[in-house]
Chain A
Amino acid sequence: MTKTCIACGMPMRVTEDYPLGNESKDYCAHCAREDGSMQSYAERAAGMASFIARTQGLDEGAALGAAKALMARLPAWAGRA
């Protein structure tokens, strides 16, 4: 069954997309810590910013701003900016 990660918006289609393969979770493997729990707001923002900087070359501050703006639209972080 396809769910959308509440913490990053990625569609989760296969078991490997879920944290530790646990399909009952509403967040994806990329948004989980090693023990399977969901990352904090700060951890997720830093992770998303470093991904944006690495893949699109944005300035670090601009990447963090963009990550936070995108996160504010997701259910897990609604209203935060």
Chain B
Amino acid sequence: MKEHSILEKRTRNRERQKLETSRRIIEAAALVFARDGILATTTAAVALEASVSHGSVFARFGTQAALVSAVIEDLGRGIAARLHELASSGAGTRAVLEAQLRAIAEREDLYARLVVEAPLLPPEARDSLLGWQSAICFHLSPAVEVDTRAGRLKAMPLHLLFNTWVGLLHYYLANRELFAPGASVMARRGGELLDHFMFLISKEGSE
């Protein structure tokens, strides 16, 4: 019985260690991707940054594509979690978009790399991106529906509303050196973009 519980404890410790190592690799990869670019980064550089062996990166993620995908999912989970909390408290469209801006600003270096490199990434990683864009839509759409029914927003297809917003954000992120050299483009221009977007989708006289 005693031996059994020692064994269990060891297994649990090993599991925890495995998780901690995976976490460390994901964080190191996020850092190097943000600094040097996603496609330009080798798994060896990630291993070096995480202070783990090259082998242990492969043991946990298998392929470069799986590692990229895990980092993208982690980024998206963080953004979606913020919106989830807000959306379930019945926040309006503007508040949800504002939270999205803030969440992107916090990880802007990585997010901007993702915007620029997305079309060139492996399908697995692109699916991850689409997965959390869907999660964002899922949190945004109830707020848009409520605001539209209440006559605050113009009636328009949800996908055009969403793609207009994302298109605007991503254009500024992809060209951030032009819009906010050496600074956070979301922090510097985000308020202006949000004001403009709300002006476009709001019914006249409702704002």
Residues of A in contact with B (beta carbons under 8 Å apart): 9-11, 13-14, 48, 51-57, 66, 69-70
Q: Which residues of A contact B124 (CB under 8 A)?
A: 69
* Contact assessment for A70 and B127 in the assembled complex, using a CB-CB cutoff below 8 Å: yes
- Chain A positions within 8 Å of B138 at CB level: 10, 51, 55
A/B pair count, beta carbons within 8 Å: 46
Closest residue on chain A to residue B85 by CB atoms: A13
B133 within 8 A of A: yes
Nearest CB to that of A72 among chain B residues?
B127
Could you name 19 residue pairs across A and B whose Cβ atoms are closer than 8 Å? Answer: A11-B84, A13-B84, A14-B88, A48-B134, A51-B134, A52-B130, A53-B159, A55-B134, A55-B141, A55-B162, A56-B133, A56-B134, A56-B159, A56-B162, A69-B124, A69-B127, A70-B130, A70-B131, A70-B134
Q: Within B119-166, which residues are at the interface with A (CB < 8 Å)?
A: 123-124, 127, 130-131, 133-135, 137-138, 141, 157-160, 162-163
Q: Evaluate whether A57 and B123 lie within 8 angstroms (CB atoms) in the complex, with A11-B84, A51-B134, A70-B131 already known.
A: no
Q: Cβ of A56 and Cβ of B127 under 8 Å apart?
A: no
Q: How far is the CA of A57 from the CA of B84 in the complex (A)?
A: 22
Across the interface, which residues of A come within 8 angstroms of B134, CB to CB?
A: 48, 51-52, 55-56, 70
Decide if A54 touches B158 in the complex (CB within 8 Å).
yes
Known A69-B127, A70-B130; judge A55-B84 contact (CB<8 A).
no
**B126 CB, nearest partner CB in chain A, Å:** 9
Taking Cβ atoms with an 8 Å cutoff, the residues of B that contact A are 81, 84, 88, 123-124, 127, 130-131, 133-135, 137-138, 141, 157-160, 162-163
Q: How far is the CB of B201 from chain A (nearest CB, A)?
A: 15
Residues of A within 8 A of B137 (CB): 51, 55-56
Query: Roughly how many angstroms separate A1 CA and B128 CA in the complex, as a whole number?
Result: 26
Instruction: List chain B residues, Cβ under 8 A from A69.
Output: 123-124, 127
Q: Give the complex CA separation of A55 and B139 in angstroms.
A: 11
CA distance A25 to B141 in the complex (A): 25
A22 to B76, CA, bound (A): 28
**Complex contacts, A51 vs chain B, CB 8 Å:** 134, 137-138
Please, which residues of chain A bring their CB within 8 A of the CB of B123? 69
Point out which of A10, A13, A55, A57 has the most chain B C-beta atoms below 10 A from its C-beta. A55
Q: How far is the CB of B40 from chain A (nearest CB, A)?
A: 25
